[in-house]
Amino acid sequence: MTGSAPEETVAEAFEGQRGRLVSVAYRMLGSRADAEDAVQEAWLRLSRQDAASIDNLAGWLTTVVGRVCIDMLRSRKARPEASYEDRLPDFVVTEDDDGAPEDDVLLADSVGLALLVVLDTLRPAERLAFVLHDMFAVPFEEIGQVIGRSTDAAKMLASRARRKVRGTHRPTDERRRQRAVVDAFLAAARSGDFEGLLRVLDPEVTWRAHTASGVVVRLGATEVAGKLRQARRARVTARRALVNDEPGIVVWGSSGRPVAVMACTVADGRIVEVVSVLDPARLAAMDLPRCPV
């Protein structure tokens, strides 16, 4: 960006980068609200900068957002929050049409729950190097400038992060098997088939429900299946969906409005964990569609 830069031109250029910057920050921070805050901070810094002196606005903004995210992650380490189990990552719900090539394309606004958990274990510089290079194809030379390290050091950080992340990517065949497990779970829940639920729930399954009044945790297949069997008469419609690019379920009430979103973790042919949202305020923020016909 050279020459004069009227305020409206700078604002338009920034808005053109906003979506990408939010995606970068979300993968760094695991929170849509925190990502928006990081991008807003970048805008404030840009507004105080002589924009005419910036040769590469996209690169400058990526650097600023990256450094803001690193500062936020370091602040989290200094003031530990509740455990990851009690924190609820943002849910991005998309239609699951069985044939979507989700293994070929990383959804622009979604990070799988398993990947979020792994990313949360990385050091801030590792996380940034991995996110920028492997998810956004930023050259290592530029990444080094963002984190204040050499190009070789940036490569090493990304490689170290990649080794930790390896294993969260699931091949298409496994995705199909996971879908089949979720479908069997849905069928058993609809019919109140207690034995069928026990077949698809891991004996040590954990169900963590985020309600308006707090987090409710149920442990074990027998307890979870019993609760589901009690609720089978409720007038609801449930369908499989992708929740943060993982098999999940959306439930609508008789009014057609969503009443629950569930993210399911499947391992070895059984559901080992369910994270569900029943809080109406959180559900409203997800902008979910009304019940399909």
Domain boundaries, given as residue ranges, for the chain: 7-83+112-165, 172-285
* pLDDT tens per residue across all 293 residues of the chain: 544 455 668 888 899 998 889 888 888 887 778 889 999 999 999 988 887 788 888 889 999 999 999 988 888 766 655 444 445 566 777 777 655 444 433 333 344 555 666 677 788 888 889 888 887 888 999 899 888 889 999 999 988 888 877 655 555 677 788 889 999 999 999 888 899 999 999 999 999 999 888 888 999 999 999 888 877 777 888 888 888 767 889 999 888 888 899 988 888 899 999 988 999 888 887 777 777 65
Q: Which residues contact 119 (CB under 8 A, 6 or more apart)?
A: 27, 30, 111, 127, 130, 131, 165
Q: Which residues contact 171 (CB under 8 A, 6 or more apart)?
A: 103
Same fold, 7-83+112-165 and 172-285: no
pTM for the full predicted model: 0.54
Write the secondary structure of 213-281 as one string of H (helix), E (strand) and C (coil).
CEEEEEECHHHHHHHHHHCCCCCCEEEEEEECCEEEEEEECCCCCEEEEEEEEEECCEEEEEEEECCHH
Distance CA 69, CA 67 (A): 5
Looking at this protein, which amino acid is placed at residue 72? Answer: M
**CA distances, 74 to each of 34, 79, 132, 242, 285 (Å):** 14, 9, 18, 31, 28
Give pLDDT, residue 268: 85
Q: Which CATH class, in words, describes the domain spanning 7-83+112-165?
A: mainly alpha
CATH code, 172-285: 3.10.450.50
Task: Give the closest residue to 263 by CA, choosing from 282, 287, 281, 246.
Answer: 246
Give pLDDT, residue 220: 92
